[in-house]
């Protein structure tokens, strides 16, 4: 999958999640390319366009704790249940060096999961994980 297709797929996935949930599950997302020397932001959508890059490393901290020690394969995902505010709530590995990070800037995953509609909203996220396993972002 190329970057344009990945971006479209992410937008469609999050739209389906929001429809199933009845409101935004995540109001912010960022596609990131990770490299040994330096990473790169490939795409962003959310309310913090002017400042998210400055805080990216600190906003990753709770999710990074959850990911520590995992050797995530393409299509694997992780959640940080109690990441508050600007801290990222979820990620999915989209390719060998690409990740999608998602956040709800006012709610935690624990709060999101309390709504029974979360069960239906998970399906598009899982569908994305399955799709990238067979067609990863290159």
Q: How many CB atoms lie within 10 A of CB 110?
A: 14
pLDDT digits over 14-69, tens only? 999 999 999 999 999 999 998 766 778 889 899 888 887 888 788 887 888 788 88
Mean pLDDT of the chain: 90
Contact 46, 28 (CB under 8 A): yes
Percent of the chain with pLDDT over 70: 99
Is residue 30 within a helix (H) or strand (E), and if so which, with residue range? strand 28-33
Q: Which residues contact 29 (CB under 8 A, 6 or more apart)?
A: 10, 14, 44, 45, 46, 100, 101, 102, 103
pLDDT digits over 74-103, tens only? 999 998 888 888 888 999 999 998 999 999
**Is 3-133 a domain of CATH 3.30.450?**
yes
H-only helix segments in 1-138: 3-21, 52-67, 109-113, 118-134
């Amino acid at each position: 999958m190329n970057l344009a297709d990945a971006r479209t797929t992410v937008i469609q996935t999050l739209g389906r999640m929001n429809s199933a949930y009845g409101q935004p599950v995540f109001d912010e997302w960022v596609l990131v390319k990770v490299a040994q020397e330096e990473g790169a932001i490939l795409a962003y959508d959310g309310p913090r366009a002017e400042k998210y890059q400055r805080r990216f490393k600190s906003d990753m901290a709770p999710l990074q704790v959850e990911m520590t020690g995992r050797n995530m394969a393409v299509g694997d995902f992780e959640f940080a249940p109690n990441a508050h505010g600007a801290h990222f709530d979820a990620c999915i590995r989209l390719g060998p060096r690409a990740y999608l990070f998602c956040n709800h800037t006012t709610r935690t995953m624990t709060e999101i999961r309390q709504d029974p509609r979360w069960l239906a909203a998970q399906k598009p996220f899982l569908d994305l994980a399955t799709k990238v396993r067979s067609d990863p972002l290159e």
